[in-house]
């Protein structure tokens, strides 16, 4: 999956910065999008998706919305909904464009109206060869199903970057969490590519259920990292996570204080059957979940 | 008794010889020899007015009456020595045995309230003898406890007094300063640490996470009833759904009205629950603050405990100190923001670690550059009021200017940016320094001090040092003077006075006279006895040694005795030591002119003539005048 992302010479892909949900933005998500765009010479597309369901709801006379911290319910008038959303989108796009310009990353903006995942799927299908979706809002416990659906429905996405309510850091080493041996090479390559572009170190975090398996993977990792060209920029750590327990992995993440983490979707951290809840309590940096 | 150490060993034979001479010498005019340390010439820089008047009156009387009692001639051969080099030099006051005895008795008397009055004219050696005896007595006494003032941390800024074992106060103060420095380094780092940051943000976010959990639970519950919770750009919305999608209005309107009403009721019910979840509750905010406060306290407490560990280890057994250290720990935790603010502000050397590192280059802590010296941390300062000396004896303090502040304490205030006064320093007074020992004051100086006399008497009576300044300004008008806890006082006041100053003092402060249980009176004139002559010879030997003069021959000493006798008359001797020193030095000069190795009587005669003239009355007048 990531092999072609990491390889130089491939036609540039896209980083799709997806917003349109709750108005809480994660600056770290935007920074992560710029980081990936800069690394892979990819364009960032600021994609604002107007949820069609909201327009459907606005047709109802009893439609109204409420925001935390504000007094009571506000009517949701259909007449002004589009204008309000476009204004919001424009503001978001401006913010993203400014950040992109400062980062030296090409950026385009788009507004689509549809059911969010369908719109996203369409957007990713339009351009290739690869897309990484960056979710602009921090994930919440309600996003379990949404994340699963995203990976299921948006087939043309290589990976998804998420942030949590505690995410505050985008500087620091790049940590690649490897739970299966065959992913080690591509994950390391991707991490190295990102790290080199931004003069960071790489931590290769090997996770296993059993000591012997872990030991073997770690030794292979060390052989891989012994390349003189790497110049000591890669360090290897192993985490014993028996019974697929995510807690030791979370501790490791906290300890290394990365600026970006790479992990496999469907691994210990997050997967179709795993709740996002633990991540919301420990994710301090953006997390790139790859297929 | 202590004054016996003043007795010159070799002088005993002199005393015996002189005694024999005394018995046979007619018209013996005694002279008094007044003894004072040669270094104390004119004790207070001027002769006492009354004694001057007496001397002048005597001179005038003699001249007027034409009385010239011939000075008794002292037989040098009977003195029992050849030169003063044969004698043991003795600085002892001559003929003041009673005074010395009274002084010693008063100084060694146990118990409080036994103050000592030392009277006599200038030049009688009263001060030197007093100091000598007090030093000897103090040397055998235990050093008193140390005292410090520390803040109570109360809003009134009051200070409490802590008693510490002798010789430990300065160490206590230094260790406290080091603890503050340590915290100034450690606390900002601790609160900048990522772990603390994460924990704090967790608490900040906790409420939101709890809300998200509640919304998720509500969402699932509502979904079961075909009601959806939508998180939209416009906020949270509640919508009817069918097969997971929001129902179109035409579809909704097509359903029977009772069903529509039912759906609307459900939506309203869910909205009410959403509103309840999203509304800000004051108790949530309060809980958040409490938890952050607890986290801050937890982080701060661990560092404070480490910083104060050394102090607790050394001083924790002392009850009052232990309670103060506990209070300090609590206050440090409560005011942890001071340290963070100090670090944030300190781009200069005062607040920065680099500045403090530079200040610690030497082996001692240079507090002037430490965080502890910054006004921000003044509340943690330890003000040393009494610290025992290294030699471990009782203190003797001599205060030449006994003003209120010099006796009781001086408070130095500083003002912060808001104009609020803070105590920068509490400087001890002489009473603190003398506590447990002796306070030596001059009556004339005390009279000049005026406003300090009554408070001093009160302190001696109540046996407490209470800081209650009469009129002296401390800071800006309106500044509150902090309260200082009284410190128990156990001191012996030794007041050196002339008759005139004593009379004046007693007239203005009647209670003063009754305070003195011992009175040591130094006489201006002493008996012209063999014993005194022997002591006088020892004194001359002492002066010669001290001023690096030639030894005096027996004839020269005899000439000096004759001079002393002539001054006093009536079988007495009188020669203030300042005059004795002048005469001895002048005689040495004359001996030098004559290339003599030993000072002879002629040299003394020359010196007398040179200093005082040849006419007897004139001499007396000249001597009497200042």
Residue B129's nearest CA partner among B141, B116, B140, B142 is: B116
Cβ B177 vs Cβ B365: under 8 Å: yes
Rounded to whole angstroms, how far apart are CA atoms B151 and B228? Answer: 63
Distance of CA B228 to the CA centre of its chain: 79
Task: Dig out the tokens for A1 from the structure.
Answer: 């999956």
Is pLDDT of A94 > 90? yes
Is pLDDT of B3 > 60? no
What local confidence, expressed as pLDDT, does residue B56 receive? 52
What local confidence, expressed as pLDDT, does residue B180 receive? 96
Contacts of A70 in chain B (CB under 8 A): 235
ipTM of the modeled complex: 0.86
Q: Which residue has the tokens 């998200």?
A: B212
CA distances for A197 relative to A194, A200, A202, A227, angstroms: 5, 8, 12, 18
- The answer to whether A76 contacts B234, with C-beta atoms less than 8 Å apart, is yes
Is pLDDT of B86 > 70? yes
Burial B489-522 (b: 16+ CB within 10 A, else e): bebbbbbbbbeebbeebeeebeebeebbebbbeb
Q: List pLDDT tens digits, range B536-546.
A: 999 999 999 99
What local confidence, expressed as pLDDT, does residue B9 receive? 42
- The answer to whether A66 contacts B271, with C-beta atoms less than 8 Å apart, is yes
Rounded to whole angstroms, how far apart are CA atoms B321 and B7? Answer: 49
Q: Is the minimum CB–CB distance between A258 and chain B shorter than 8 Å?
A: no
Quick one: average pLDDT of A119-147?
Answer: 86
Model confidence at B382, pLDDT cuts 50, 70, 90, reads very high
Cβ count within 10 A of residue A17: 31
Task: Dig out the tokens for B499 from the structure.
Answer: 């008759």
Angle at B46 between CA B44 and CA B51, to 5 degrees: 110
In DSSP terms, which residues pair with A45 in a beta bridge? Answer: A16, A108
Cβ B448 vs Cβ B113: under 8 Å: no
- The answer to whether A141 contacts B208, with C-beta atoms less than 8 Å apart, is no
Is pLDDT of B26 > 50? no
Cβ B300 vs Cβ B336: under 8 Å: yes
Rounded to whole angstroms, how far apart are CA atoms B410 and B404? Answer: 9
Is pLDDT of A1 > 70? no
Supply the pTM of this predicted model.
Answer: 0.72
Q: What percent of chain B has pLDDT above 70? A: 80
Task: Dig out the tokens for B356 from the structure.
Answer: 């403090």
Which is it for strands B438-442 and B396-398: parallel, antiparallel or unpaired? parallel
- The answer to whether B216 contacts A165, with C-beta atoms less than 8 Å apart, is no
Backbone angles phi, psi at B608, to 5 degrees: -60, -45
The secondary structure element, H or E, covering residue B605 is: helix B601-612
Rounded to whole angstroms, how far apart are CA atoms B98 and B104? Answer: 10
Rounded to whole angstroms, how far apart are CA atoms B88 and B610? Answer: 29
In DSSP terms, which residues pair with A14 in a beta bridge? Answer: A43, A131
What local confidence, expressed as pLDDT, does residue A267 receive? 84
Across chain B, mean pLDDT equals 82
Is pLDDT of A105 > 90? yes
Q: List pLDDT tens digits, range B569-615.
A: 767 778 788 888 899 999 999 999 999 999 999 999 999 998 887 66
Please indicate whether residue B43 or residue B464 has the higher confidence score (pLDDT).
B464
Q: List pLDDT tens digits, range B345-376.
A: 864 444 445 444 444 444 344 444 578 888 88
Residue B524's nearest CA partner among B72, B125, B128 is: B125
Coil/strand/helix, residue B228: strand
- The answer to whether A281 contacts B209, with C-beta atoms less than 8 Å apart, is yes
Q: Which chain A residue shows the shortest CA-CA distance from B252?
A: A60
What local confidence, expressed as pLDDT, does residue B475 receive? 54
Contacts of B197 in chain A (CB under 8 A): 168
Is pLDDT of B77 > 90? no
Rounded to whole angstroms, how far apart are CA atoms A191 and A281? Answer: 24
Contacts of B216 in chain A (CB under 8 A): 140-142
Task: Dig out the tokens for B618 from the structure.
Answer: 């004139």
Please indicate whether residue B470 or residue A254 has the higher confidence score (pLDDT).
A254
Which residues are CB-contacts of A165 (< 8 A; sequence separation ≥ 6)?
Answer: A138, A140, A280, B205, B208, B209
Among the ranges given (A68-77, A171-180, B242-251, B430-439), the one the predictor scored with the smallest mean pLDDT: A68-77
Rounded to whole angstroms, how far apart are CA atoms B95 and B522? Answer: 9
From the list A73, A257, A280, the residue facing B194 with the nearest CB is A257
Is pLDDT of B263 > 90? yes
Rounded to whole angstroms, how far apart are CA atoms B5 and A291? Answer: 103
Peptide bond into A129 cis (omega under 30): yes
Q: Where are the beta strands (DSSP E) in chain A?
A: 14-19, 43-51, 64-66, 73-75, 107-114, 131-135, 157-162, 174-178, 202-208, 234-240, 260-264, 287-290
- The answer to whether A56 contacts B247, with C-beta atoms less than 8 Å apart, is yes
Rounded to whole angstroms, how far apart are CA atoms B66 and B612? Answer: 19
Rounded to whole angstroms, how far apart are CA atoms A59 and B249? Answer: 6
Cβ B30 vs Cβ B571: under 8 Å: yes
Cβ B547 vs Cβ B38: under 8 Å: yes
Rounded to whole angstroms, how far apart are CA atoms B480 and B168? Answer: 31
Contacts of A62 in chain B (CB under 8 A): 264, 267-268
Is pLDDT of B8 > 50? no
Quick one: average pLDDT of A206-235?
Answer: 86
Is pLDDT of B187 > 90? yes
Across chain A, mean pLDDT equals 86
Q: Which chain B residue shows the shortest CA-CA distance from A56?
A: B248
Please indicate whether residue A61 or residue B45 has the higher confidence score (pLDDT).
A61
Chain A nearest C-alpha distance from B241 (Å) = 10
What local confidence, expressed as pLDDT, does residue B45 receive? 42
From the list A22, A64, A281, the residue facing B231 with the nearest CB is A22
Please indicate whether residue A219 or residue B64 has the higher confidence score (pLDDT).
A219
Rounded to whole angstroms, how far apart are CA atoms B564 and B525? Answer: 9
Residue A193's nearest CA partner among A37, A54, A11 is: A37
Model confidence at B28, pLDDT cuts 50, 70, 90, reads very low
Coil/strand/helix, residue B351: coil
Q: Is the minimum CB–CB distance between A60 and chain B shorter than 8 Å?
A: yes
- The answer to whether A257 contacts B216, with C-beta atoms less than 8 Å apart, is no
- The answer to whether A21 contacts B247, with C-beta atoms less than 8 Å apart, is no
Chain B nearest C-alpha distance from A142 (Å) = 6
Q: List pLDDT tens digits, range B557-567.
A: 999 998 888 88
Which pairs count as long-range contacts for A96-103, CB under 8 Å and 24+ apart, including other chains? A96/A17, A96/A30, A96/A33, A96/A44, A96/A46, A97/A46, A99/A30, A99/A31, A99/A34, A100/A34, A100/A37, A100/A44, A103/A34, A103/A37, A103/A38
From the list B215, B232, B267, the residue facing A21 with the nearest CB is B232
What local confidence, expressed as pLDDT, does residue B4 receive? 46
Q: Which residue has the tokens 């999956």?
A: A1
Quick one: average pLDDT of B477-503?
Answer: 86
From the list B202, B231, B267, the residue facing A21 with the nearest CB is B231
Which of A24, A63, A66, A137 best probes binding to B when mutated, by most B CB atoms within 10 angstroms?
A66
Is pLDDT of A162 > 80? yes
The secondary structure element, H or E, covering residue B115 is: strand B115-120
Q: Is the minimum CB–CB distance between A102 and chain B shorter than 8 Å?
A: no
Helical ranges in B66-223 per DSSP H: 97-108, 126-139, 169-192, 194-223
Please indicate whether residue A200 or residue B431 has the higher confidence score (pLDDT).
B431
Contacts of A254 in chain B (CB under 8 A): 198
Task: Dig out the tokens for A168 from the structure.
Answer: 């505050």
């Amino acid at each position: 999956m990531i092999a072609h992302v990491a390889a130089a010479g491939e036609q540039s892909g896209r980083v799709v910065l997806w917003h349109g949900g709750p108005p809480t933005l994660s600056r770290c998500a935007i920074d992560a999008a710029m980081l990936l765009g800069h690394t892979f010479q990819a364009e960032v597309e600021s994609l604002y998706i107007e949820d069609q369901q909201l327009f459907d709801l606005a047709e109802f006379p009893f439609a109204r919305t409420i925001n935390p911290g504000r007094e009571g319910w506000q009517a949701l008038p259909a007449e002004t909904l589009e204008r309000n959303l476009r204004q919001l989108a424009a503001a978001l796009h401006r913010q993203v464009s400014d950040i992109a310009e400062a980062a030296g990353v090409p950026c385009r903006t788009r507004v689509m109206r549809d059911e969010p995942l369908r719109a996203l799927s369409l957007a990713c299908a339009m351009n290739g060869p690869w897309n990484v979706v960056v979710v602009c809002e921090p994930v919440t416990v309600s996003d379990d199903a949404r994340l699963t659906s995203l990976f299921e429905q948006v087939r043309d996405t290589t990976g998804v970057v998420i942030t949590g309510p505690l995410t505050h850091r985008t500087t620091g080493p790049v940590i690649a969490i490897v739970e299966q041996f065959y992913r080690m090479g591509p994950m390391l390559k991707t991490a190295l590519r990102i790290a080199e572009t931004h003069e960071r170190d790489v931590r290769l975090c090997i996770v296993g259920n059993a000591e012997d398996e872990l030991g073997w993977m770690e030794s292979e990792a060390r052989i891989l990292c012994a390349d003189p060209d790497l110049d000591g920029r890669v360090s290897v750590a192993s985490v014993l996570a028996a019974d697929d327990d995510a807690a030791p992995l979370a501790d490791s993440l906290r300890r290394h204080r990365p600026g970006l983490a790479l992990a496999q979707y469907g691994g210990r951290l997050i997967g179709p059957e795993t709740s996002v809840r633990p991540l919301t309590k420990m994710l301090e940096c953006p997390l790139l979940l790859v297929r | 008794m202590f004054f016996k150490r003043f007795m010159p060993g070799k002088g005993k034979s002199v005393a015996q010889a002189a005694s024999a001479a005394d018995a046979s010498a007619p018209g013996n005019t005694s002279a008094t020899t007044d003894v004072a340390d040669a270094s104390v010439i004119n004790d207070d820089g001027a002769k006492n007015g009354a004694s001057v008047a007496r001397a002048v009156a005597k001179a005038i009387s003699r001249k007027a009456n034409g009385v010239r009692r011939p000075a008794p001639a002292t037989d040098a051969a009977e003195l029992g020595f050849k030169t003063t080099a044969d004698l043991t030099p003795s600085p002892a006051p001559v003929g003041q045995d009673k005074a010395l005895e009274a002084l010693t008795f008063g100084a060694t008397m146990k118990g409080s309230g036994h103050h000592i009055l030392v009277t006599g004219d200038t030049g009688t050696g009263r001060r030197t003898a007093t100091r000598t005896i007090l030093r000897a007595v103090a040397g055998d006494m235990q050093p008193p406890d140390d005292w410090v003032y520390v803040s109570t941390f109360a809003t009134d800024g009051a200070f409490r007094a802590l008693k510490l074992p002798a010789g430990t106060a300065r160490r206590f103060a230094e260790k406290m300063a080091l603890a503050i420095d340590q915290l100034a380094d450690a606390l900002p780092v601790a609160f900048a640490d990522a772990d603390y940051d994460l924990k704090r943000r967790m608490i900040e976010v906790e409420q939101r996470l709890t809300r998200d959990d509640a919304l998720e639970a509500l969402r699932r519950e509502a979904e079961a009833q075909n009601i959806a919770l939508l998180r939209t750009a416009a906020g949270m919305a509640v919508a009817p759904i069918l097969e997971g999608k929001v129902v179109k209005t035409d579809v909704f309107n097509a359903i029977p009205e009772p069903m529509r009403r039912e759906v609307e009721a459900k939506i309203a019910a869910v909205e009410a629950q959403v509103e309840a979840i999203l509304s800000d509750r004051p108790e949530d905010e309060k809980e958040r603050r409490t938890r952050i406060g607890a986290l801050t306290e937890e982080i701060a407490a661990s560092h404070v405990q480490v910083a104060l560990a050394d102090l607790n280890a050394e001083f924790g057994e002392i009850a009052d100190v232990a309670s103060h250290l506990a209070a300090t720990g609590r206050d440090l935790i409560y005011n942890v923001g001071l340290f963070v603010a100090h670090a944030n502000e300190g781009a200069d050397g005062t607040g920065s670690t680099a500045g403090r590192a530079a200040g610690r280059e030497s082996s001692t802590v240079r507090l002037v550059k430490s965080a502890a010296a910054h006004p921000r941390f003044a509340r943690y300062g330890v003000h040393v009021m009494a610290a025992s000396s290294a030699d471990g004896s009782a203190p003797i303090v001599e205060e030449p200017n006994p003003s209120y502040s010099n006796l009781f304490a001086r408070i130095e205030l500083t003002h912060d940016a808001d104009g609020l006064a803070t105590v920068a320093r509490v400087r001890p007074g002489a009473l603190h320094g003398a506590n447990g020992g002796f306070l030596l004051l001059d009556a004339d100086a005390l009279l000049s001090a005026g406003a300090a006399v009554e408070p001093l008497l009160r302190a001696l009576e109540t046996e407490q040092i209470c800081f209650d300044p009469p009129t002296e300004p401390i800071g800006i008008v309106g500044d509150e003077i902090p309260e200082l806890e009284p410190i128990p006082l156990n001191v012996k006041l030794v007041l050196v006075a002339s008759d005139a100053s004593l009379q004046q003092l007693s007239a203005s402060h009647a209670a003063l006279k009754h305070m003195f249980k011992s009175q040591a009176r130094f006489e201006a004139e002493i008996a012209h006895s063999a014993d005194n002559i022997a002591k006088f010879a020892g004194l001359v030997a002492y002066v010669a040694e001290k001023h690096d003069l030639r030894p005096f021959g027996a004839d020269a000493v005899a000439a000096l005795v004759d001079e002393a006798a002539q001054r006093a008359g009536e079988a007495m001797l009188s020669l203030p030591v300042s005059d004795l020193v002048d005469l001895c030095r002048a005689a040495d000069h004359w001996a030098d002119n004559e290339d003599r190795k030993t000072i002879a009587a002629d040299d003394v005669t020359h010196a007398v003539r040179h200093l005082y003239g040849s006419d007897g009355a004139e001499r007396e007048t000249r001597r009497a005048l200042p």
